[in-house]
Structure 1
């Protein structure tokens, strides 16, 4: 890993309890900000989001300069091409961050929404009402745009955020944070509503994970090593996913042109995103007509194909797959490929090797599609569409804080609505329980 920027390193003279003090202060400020945000009107939150979007556009030169320094260190440290792509910001990606904030502002405010209400025989009126979670800690690697996405979604849902970016994106994230805080100031909201851990010292992560009673939920977004550490050490509830081993199953009744287009997009549009396809499954009934064109499209597109013996026989460029390939998230231009016996074979393969993230079926057979969509136990299942649609923006959420493969609280893209809980509001007229 590259050396940290000099002004982010913890100095030799800084005592360990000083870092603990800094983190405690972040926590106190965040809780105070969360208390205020929980009752902040939607108009004020939307004003802050719009102002933050404008500030990001105005700060584009500073953000890109900070990102250029991060990229220089990343390349010097030998980060993979996929990791560098995740880190990269350009004019289009900066504009996408700003637009994402505006889209979040345009969403309905989830806070205060009445989910259900009823009246008991004794006259008590009971309502289940959506409320913020409180303080959300977000630990992420590589992608600096998470700074804006996460902060914007937390603000919209009435939560305060404490962000801990990876050292590789520290400068970029800090520049984006400054724009977010400018938006808060323009709307008269506390800057502590969105804060960033002031050091890239790994010890700060351990402190953050132990801040039970201060932080209400932790959202890790990064590689398996980060996620496993958070799961093992956190004393705070976690919204997480470990891997994105996503599958595309091409059924015997699939339209060939559609299958070729979907597989190519699902794998190669952006190989470093967690919704990228990592495994190709083809129905044996379609092997004679569908397998060779799809595999050759991938190979010609610069993708390494690691295939079973039947797939390897198609083209000498196919690399023989190992058992580990079926469960690997490559996040690169690599895909595993094998034949299966119909939709039931695809379901069985995904259950054995998949990560319950995103899986797709390509078929014109509605019965096969219905069986796949019902039986595959993943956060997102698709029929005749690319796995790369697993994205909060594509789901109409404006942005996302991550993709959850958990089954409790939130599953799939985590947007503003998923960053809320609920409470029961009971109204009476003097009722006493007998």
Structure 2
């Protein structure tokens, strides 16, 4: 009998959880997202559970808008810590779990970023990962000397070159370059040092990096999103992809599309893990799980709920939230508005019910049920060729992480789907990924 495929599990720990009303839950500390103690508790719980990694998404500007008026003051998605600083602190209180952070290729320089993530890899003993993004909002542009965000094609072109440069800098030193021979006075083998001398359209970077080769060879590369250019970057470079797919046929199509692109870059399919986002509401009974879901949704004010619809359907604040969803009065993205309106008509949803389909997981796919229901769903995605694992996005932290660990993980282990011990000291060990070779070796 063939052993079941092991499921990779990452934990997204941004803000106080992924539900719009997370901060209002009776168990939540509303100020937790600004406290090391909050993140330490979350990371240590995830590590005791033997999860692969914790992940901090990031934006370098306040993306939450006061649209409609009154929404901003009700949102907990405003206060957060700089992720690399936070992960460096967490590296000192954890031993095995991976530490992954977003960093933008649009508003950083390759040398600076290569140095930061190489440092984190050393400080953590080989557990660092970089989530590659290009950023997307005008707010971020205005925080970095620009009036408008860089256009779509240009920022992906820049991103591709950026990643090439960073990987080149991480190869500045071969594994055995340090000699540390006190007797002879020789610190290093200079023949094992390699200067990049990169000159491209967007960057001119000489090198070498002033950090020796890292414990993982280089930090794990993560990518998120479904843009064509982003998928090419992922196929060429990424070790992990966080995806946003909502049903198995769509997930399987994305999975096959991305993995089929890898061969032209000389890569095997198993060199990349695809991990869709997943929010879970778990209870010992289905009624208990549904009650948890309903409790949180009841804490979402209309102003905040309408803000989740604003970007697609426009301002619906003049309409009765318990009435039918109207034709969008000022839709900003007509194709998305059409899909959302079709969903509302198909399910006969009110405006309130429509925003309650989005607020539970900040747009992430969610599942409500017993531990067996949750694991059935996860296993169906894995066996259906739509995922290698999941990026868990709990509704409320640390509450829903605790309940996932207590209720869902035992069921996963009973079925042989998840580890009981770590595979080794590095993030690559947990993911089953080989250590990359230095290009000069």
TM range (shorter): 0.3 to 0.5
TM-score under structure 1 normalisation? Answer: 0.32
> Higher strand proportion, which one?
1
Asked which structure has the greater RCO (Cα within 8 Å, sep 6+), the reply is: 2
Bigger share in helix: 1
Which has the larger Rg? 1
